[in-house]
Amino acid sequence: MQNSMPPLSALRAFEATARLGSVTAAAEELSVTHGAVSRQLKSLDEHFGVALFSKAGRGIVLTPHGEKLQSGLSEAFSKLRDSCAALKRDVEEAPFTLACPGSLLARWLIPRLDRLHRELPELKLKVVVSDTEQPGKQTDASATLAFSEPPWPADVDVIELIPEQICAVASPQLAAQLDPADPQTLFSTQLLYTASRPQAWPQWASAQGLEQAQLEAALSEGQGFEHLYYLMEAAVAGLGVAIAPTLLVEDDLKSGRLVAPWGSIETSARLCLWLPNQTNNHRSEPLAKWLKSELKTAS
């Protein structure tokens, strides 16, 4: 039974040729040369031990045997195509769920969400707040957007978007008391930070050439917040100098609610798109591309 099945590619070539009535046309449909199709047809003839086409003028026509085969195959192949198309449609019409930390969601993604929807409508994007520290483990999300540091686990796809930059920000009033040329003046204020990024201040300080001991002393008198939202409000209120990803405070810097006296520094972390399963790449690729271009124009 099984050994009686000819190569499937030959059957496909036959079906296309029979349907179109031309080797050349079938070759075009299958994106190969007519020679390739011709060989496939010959191999089918040999497999079945009977001619399926005969020459007619400069073209070909089906023999009775060929017609019989065609009538069955065309049905089978159209069912095959339908099944694949149906699955593909199902997959593509399902919403693409992007998980994202609340701070990134609120301060960067949501302002761009409308344009994203308009420019990639076929994604049917839904966004959710990521509920775990491990970006790859979010099983109900198609992808996760997050800042994270290499190395990444081998069993997930991680697309690097841009390096993370962080900056120290303060209200304009407070900044007026600080020296843009001397980061040291920072220590005259209270240090503000989020609990989720304890390494931010040390990284910044080390990049600015500040003493580690002095920083630690200042940090112990500093103030931590649960969420970036509160941190920003505290900074705006002039409670002290906050450390935050530059990407998330750009709007505040532009509007003048906050200033960053000493500029930004780059960290070893990256803004990444995590793809938990190795699959649905063609849906995530346009998203990754969009994110990259969006991040490029913004900077």
Q: Report the interface residues with DNA, using CB under 7 A.
A: 7, 9-10, 22-25, 27, 30-36, 38-43, 53, 55, 57-60
Cβ proximity to its own copies: between 2 and 297 the closer is 2
Q: Residue 256: left if φ>0, alpha if ψ -120 to 50, beta else—which one?
A: left
Half-sphere exposure of 288 (CA within 13 A, CB side): 20
Give which of 249, 294, 288, 295 is closest to 144, Cα–Cα. Answer: 288
CA gyration radius, the chain: 31
b/e 169-205 (16+ beta carbons within 10 angstroms → b): bbbeebbeebeeeebeebbebbbbbbeebeebbebbb
* Residue 144 near which of its own copies, DNA, none (CB within 5-8 Å, type-dependent): none
Min separation Cβ 287 and DNA, Å: 23
Cβ proximity to DNA: between 30 and 162 the closer is 30
Residues binding its own copies (CB under 8 A): 1-2, 4-6, 8-9, 11-12, 29-31, 45-46, 48-51, 65, 68-69, 72-73, 75-77, 79-88, 90-91, 277-283
Amino acid letter, residue 239: L
Cβ proximity to its own copies: between 83 and 177 the closer is 83
* Residue 207 near which of its own copies, DNA, none (CB within 5-8 Å, type-dependent): none
Give the C-alpha separation, 81 to 66, whole Å.
21
* Residue 33 near which of its own copies, DNA, none (CB within 5-8 Å, type-dependent): DNA
* Residue 209 near which of its own copies, DNA, none (CB within 5-8 Å, type-dependent): none
Evaluate whether 161 touches 155 at the Cβ level (below 8 Å).
Answer: no
* Residue 293 near which of DNA, its own copies, none (CB within 5-8 Å, type-dependent): none
Min separation Cβ 58 and its own copies, Å: 18
How many angstroms from the chain centroid is the CA of residue 112? Answer: 15
Min separation Cβ 4 and its own copies, Å: 6
**Which helix (H) or strand (E) is 203 found in, with range?**
helix 200-208
* Residue 83 near which of its own copies, DNA, none (CB within 5-8 Å, type-dependent): its own copies
Is residue 95 reached through a cis peptide bond, with omega within 30 degrees of 0 on the bond before it?
no
> What does the block give as tokens for 285?
């690729």
Min separation Cβ 16 and its own copies, Å: 9
Min separation Cβ 151 and DNA, Å: 16
